[in-house]
Amino acid sequence: MEYEEESNSLEMKESSLDITHEGAARPPSGTNSALLKSYTYATSLPTALEKDQECILGVDEAGRGPVLGPMVYGICYCPLAKKDELADLGFADSKTLKEDERDNLLEVIMSRPDLIGWSVRVLSPMDISNSMLRKEKYNLNALAHDTTIQLIRETLASGVNLREVYVDTVGPPETYQAKLERIFPSITKIVVAKKADSKYPIVSAASICAKVTRDDVLRHWVFAESGIEENVSREFGSGYPSDPKTVKWLKKNMDPIFGYPNIVRFSWGTCKTLLETSGKPVRWEDDDEGPKQPRINAMLSQSNESDLAQQKRQYSTFTTKSAPRPRPQLMQDMSLKNVVEF
């Protein structure tokens, strides 16, 4: 549906698009189960890769900005000697491509298992929120760096001899490059650049792997929360907070008490604002500033009974009129009352 505006030409084209959507093989890097924990998918080594043959590797990310769905890091590598062959396959920045063109390019990548190896790490929205919201904040850049480092490490560990690494970055490239050079002294050339996906075909290929995987996971999102599959719309839009479709989804699918399902990154400002304005307020007693107000019943004895008698009463299953069983502490603390007699 999102393509209607763009494909203003032929109906034929539109229907063929639909076929590509429903009929196209899903990338192997997607998942069929609920995405709670982040995972890595990696292809096997290119079949034509000789032992210790020098390789180049590109790193790119997809889904950093969106408030919905996973963030995916992709790497793609091939022998240094076959660099030109890769360029001939025609990669460009994944963001400038339409979805079907990207799907096709992933198929191109997958059609050359002799030449290209790739892997993706899919970071679940829950992991992203948890990282960003935990007490010692772990920001998105640190998460990006660590994920990239992990993917490169795993590639090296699988026996690929990396000579050159090209990384697309959002933050300042210089410090990031220095950091990677320090961690991977064996790699001769490390290039961290902004918009690396439009400059280096290998980064572009990595961006395709990442983007196609993200789109697939989002499109086939499996809700971990039971019973919401039917009630929650799948009209996510692009997932970017600037997309009116996404904003509409966020507004429509919020539970005033439970908030959002795990597809949403709770750490995003958009989400926080919506929860604060439209959700039910929560009062955390421990957050109240100033001196603590103790309970009166903590300072006055419950009654004059001995501890033993109290215990007996507490554990007795028989309640009598004269000595009612004490209410559970939680009920007392929250000032909850029985509304129904059992």
Partner 1 sequence: MLEARLQTGALLKKLLEAIKELITDANFDCSDNGIALQAMDNSHVALVALLLRHDGFEPYRCDRSLALGVNLVSLSKVLRCAGNDDIITLKADDTADVLSLTFENTDNDRISEYELKLMDIDSEHLGIPDTQYDAVVQMSSAEFLRICRDLQVLSDSVQIDVTKEGVKFAAKGELGSGAVTLKQSGNVDKEDDSTLIELQQDVSLNFSLKYLVNFTKATPLSTRVSLSMSSEVPLLVEYKMEAGYIRYYLAPKIGEDN
Q: Which one of the spans 78-86, 127-135, 153-161, 294-302 is the region binding partner 1 (CB under 8 A)?
A: 294-302
Verify binding: residue 338, partner 1, rule CB under 8 A.
yes
x-marked contacts with partner 1 along 302-321 as a string, rule CB under 8 A = xxx-----------------
**Residue 332 touches partner 1, criterion: CB under 8 A:** yes
Residue among 335, 339, 340, 342 that touches partner 1 (CB under 8 A): 335
Q: Which of 1, 25, 299, 308 binds partner 1 (CB under 8 A)?
A: 299
The Cβ of residue 39 has, within 10 Å, a number of other Cβ atoms equal to 15
239: CB partners within 8 A, 6+ apart: 63, 66, 67, 68, 69, 218, 246
Q: Per the annotation, does 61 bind a ligand?
A: yes
User: Mapping DSSP to helix (H, G, I), strand (E, B) and coil, where does residue 161 land?
Assistant: strand
339 near partner 1, rule: CB under 8 A: no
Binding to partner 1, residues 231-290 (CB under 8 A): 290
Total site size for partner 1, rule CB under 8 A: 22
Q: Lay out the sheet containing 189-193: strands in order across.
A: 39-42, 117-123, 71-79, 54-62, 161-168, 189-193
Question: From the CB of 296, what's the least distance to partner 1, in Å?
Answer: 5
Is 295 one of the binding residues for partner 1 (CB under 8 A)? yes
Q: Which of 185, 244, 281, 294 binds partner 1 (CB under 8 A)?
A: 294
Tokens of 294: 């103790």
Asked if 327 interacts with partner 1 (CB under 8 A), we say: yes
When asked if residue 328 is in the footprint of partner 1 (CB under 8 A), the reply is no
Long-range pairs for 169-173: beta carbons < 8 A, 24 or more residues apart: 169/193, 169/194, 169/196, 170/61, 170/64, 170/141, 170/144, 170/194, 171/141, 171/144
The rounded distance, in Å, linking the Cα atoms of 278 and 254 is 8
Q: Tell me if 322 contacts partner 1 by CB under 8 A.
A: no
The nearest distance, CB 311 to partner 1, in angstroms, is: 16
101 is in an annotated binding site: no
List 333's β-bridge partners, or say none: none
Token look-up 């971990």 returns 224
Task: Tell me if 60 is assigned to a ligand binding site.
Answer: yes
List of residues 6+ apart from 74 with CB closer than 8 A: 59, 60, 61, 62, 118, 119, 120, 206, 207, 208, 209, 210, 211, 213
User: Of the two residues 51 and 292, which places its CB atom closer to partner 1 in the complex?
Assistant: 292
- d(C-alpha 250, C-alpha 243), whole Å: 11
Q: Which of 51, 135, 283, 292 binds partner 1 (CB under 8 A)?
A: 292
Binding site for a divalent metal cation: which residues? 60-61, 168
Binding site: which residues? 60-61, 168
Judged by the rule CB under 8 A, the positions of this chain that interact with partner 1 are: 290-304, 324, 326-327, 332-333, 335, 338
